[in-house]
Amino acid sequence: MNNALVLAPVFIPLGSAALNILVGQNRTLQHIIAVFAGFIAWVSSIVLLIMNWQSGPQLYRLGGWPTPYGIVLAVDLLSGLFGVMATTVVFGGIVYAVGCKDKCVKYPAFMPLFLCMGAGLNGALYTGDIFTLFVFVELMVMSSVALVAISDNNLGVEAAIKYLLISAMGSLFLLLGIAAVYATFGTLTIADVARQLQTGERPLLAQAAAVFLMCAFLLKSAVFPFHFWQPDFHTTAPTPVHAVLSSVVVKVGVYGLIRLTMLMFTVEAPLIRTLLLVLGIIGIFFGSLGALRTYDAKRMLAYSTFGQIGFILLGIGWGTPLALVGALVYAVNHALIKSSLLMITGAMSSRMPNKSARLTQIGGAGKGLALMSILYLLGGLALAGVPPLNGFISKVALVRGGVEAHNWITLLPAVFAGLITLLYMMRTWQLIFQQQPEKTLKLKPYGDSLLAPAVLIGLCVALGLYAGPLVDVATAAVNQLGDPSIYIKAILGG
């Protein structure tokens, strides 16, 4: 039975992007359309998650074609949870963009591109077809490349070209994996591939497909050694774009790795998880130390994403139910924390004469800005995992998973690396908001709106004080992932 609501988070932003192109120079109308589309997509994703919780996976077969002959959009608890995470941050990004002072936000192409990026992100999470996954990922990538290229930052074009070239490598890996899957199994429906792999037989190109797909997902998540494009690309992006890129776009790769290990290549999963543990530990220390030594507040948060993705990879790598719950909780909470911190940093830099976020130039720039200081402090403490904020729940859930897995070799260094997060976040907060500013520093009277980051920080506090619903959904999602037949039967029937 088709549920048309599955289409809403994908095609309402896409249709609104086309409508935004038609209204052209009317910025007010563009903003109204974008905010409405973001809100409808957000509400639809929440309703889909609730329906999934009550009735099982929700499907929509495009064109009415039966699976596996046609394309299907399928929302289970995993994709539903990630969909709510994505639409929440994208909606926040739209609200922030409405109050943003950047010149590029005023371009007629900005809102259509931003909505296309959100549609591609939601489509990649909801699709049940591996080639359609490639199409949505490319829509997301090309939109984000264009958004960075039109940035006010002079280095935006250079960063966009770098990412375009690196993304082409990821697309090549993904296409090679798709080709290997189709040549081996004669289908591109993820559930059908998983059904055939459950037999235990491994035809010639099956394991090669796993390698190609894993490389593609690692690159999309900016995991070492596929990380080198991320700091330049994310730092030069406009703030609303950066907030989405560094918090939820990188989670598409995480989502793909979970599908790879829990649904498709379950026999090869132990080997993949071992690799993820190694890459996770490297990412944690590389990202944390890079954030500690960088020269720019936005770049610091971009490096921090390396480390935070590393923590999520550890949860996937440990592979126990409790560790996977920790990974899902961590992924959602990190998206809310990181997007809000990037918006606050962008609002601070928007008050600078040259819109700089260099630590040598913004020292003391936040002195006297009480609301911004409190929001940044709460976000920094949440990212470091200080109670009673949602980052503490993430760290506790992940540590419990590591204890359950008895993997002390990776758990202990990860706990130690968490202290580095507290160090660089508190250092940056003191530098911007506590230090006395230079006498020559002249700030603009008004900067970007703080509405969106304030709401996101409010969610961080709420999910720290009342974490039960998020943990319950993550636990149910892991239980559903533990039985791949639920997903397979929902799509294929039988």
Q: How confident is the model at residue 76 (pLDDT cuts 50, 70, 90)?
A: very high
72 three-state secondary structure:
strand
Q: What angle do CA 163, 166, 168 make, to 5 degrees?
A: 110
Q: Which residues are paired to 73 by β-bridges?
A: 60, 127
State the pTM of this model.
0.93
Burial class (CB in 10 A: 0-12, 13-18, 19+), 295: exposed
Q: Among 274-283, 292-301, 357-366, name the one with the lowest average pLDDT.
A: 357-366
Average pLDDT, integer, range 147-171: 85
Mean pLDDT, residues 295-324: 88
pLDDT score at 159: 82
What pLDDT, on the 0 to 100 scale, is given for residue 447?
73
For 354, counting Cβ atoms within 10 Å of its Cβ (0-12 exposed, 13-18 middle, 19+ buried), the class is: exposed
pLDDT surpasses 80 at 254: yes
Q: What average pLDDT score do residues 42-63 get?
A: 91
Model confidence band, residue 291 (pLDDT cutoffs 50, 70, 90): confident
Report whether pLDDT(475) > 90: yes
User: Rg of the Cα trace of the chain?
Assistant: 21
pLDDT at 176 over 90: yes
- pLDDT, residue 453, reads 92
Domain hosting 222: range is 4-492
- Contact at 8 Å (CB) between 405 and 323? yes
Q: How confident is the model at residue 454 (pLDDT cuts 50, 70, 90)?
A: very high
**Helix/strand/coil for 127:** strand
Nearest to 77 by CA among 395, 399, 394, 486: 486
Q: Please, are residues 411 and 401 in contact by the beta-carbon 8 Å criterion?
A: no
Rounded mean pLDDT, 164-175 = 87
Predicted confidence (pLDDT) at residue 492 exceeds the cutoff of 90: no
pLDDT of residue 461: 93
Reported confidence tier of residue 494, pLDDT bands at 50, 70, 90:
low
Return the top range by mean pLDDT from 124-128, 244-248, 297-301: 124-128
On the question of pLDDT at 446 being above 90, the answer is no
Most confident of 48-62, 233-247, 434-448: 48-62
With a cut of 80, say whether residue 300 has pLDDT above it. Answer: yes
Q: Please tell me the predicted confidence (pLDDT) of residue 186.
A: 87
Report pLDDT for 113.
93
313-334 core/surface letters (b: 16 or more CB in 10 A; e: else): bbbbbbbbebbbbbbbbbbbbb
pLDDT score, position 375? 93
User: Three-state SS for 73?
Assistant: strand
**Count of domains observed in the chain:** 1
Q: Is 413 exposed, middle or buried (0-12, 13-18, 19+ CB in 10 A)?
A: middle
Mean pLDDT of 448-453: 88
pLDDT over 70 percentage in the chain:
99
Q: Which of 413, 227, 388, 387 is nearest to 311 (CA)?
A: 413
Residue 1's pLDDT band, with cuts at 50, 70 and 90, is low
Tokens read off for 321: 């139910």
Does the pLDDT of residue 62 top 70, yes or no? yes
> Among 42-51, 62-71, 447-456, which stretch is predicted with the lowest mean pLDDT?
62-71
In the structure, what pLDDT confidence band is assigned to residue 360 with cuts at 50, 70 and 90? confident
For 184, the token pair is 């081996």
Taking only the tens place, the pLDDT of each residue in 122-156 is 999 999 899 999 999 999 999 998 998 888 888 88
Which among 308, 118, 145, 168 has a CA at the least distance from the CA of 234?
145
Beta-carbon count within 10 A of 121 CB: 30
Highest average pLDDT, of 254-258, 282-286, 351-355, comes from 254-258
Q: What pLDDT score was predicted for residue 440?
A: 66
Query: In the predicted model, is pLDDT for residue 356 greater than 70?
Result: yes
Mean pLDDT of the chain: 88
**Least confident piece of the model among 22-36, 108-122, 362-376:** 362-376
Residue 81 has pLDDT above 70, yes or no: yes
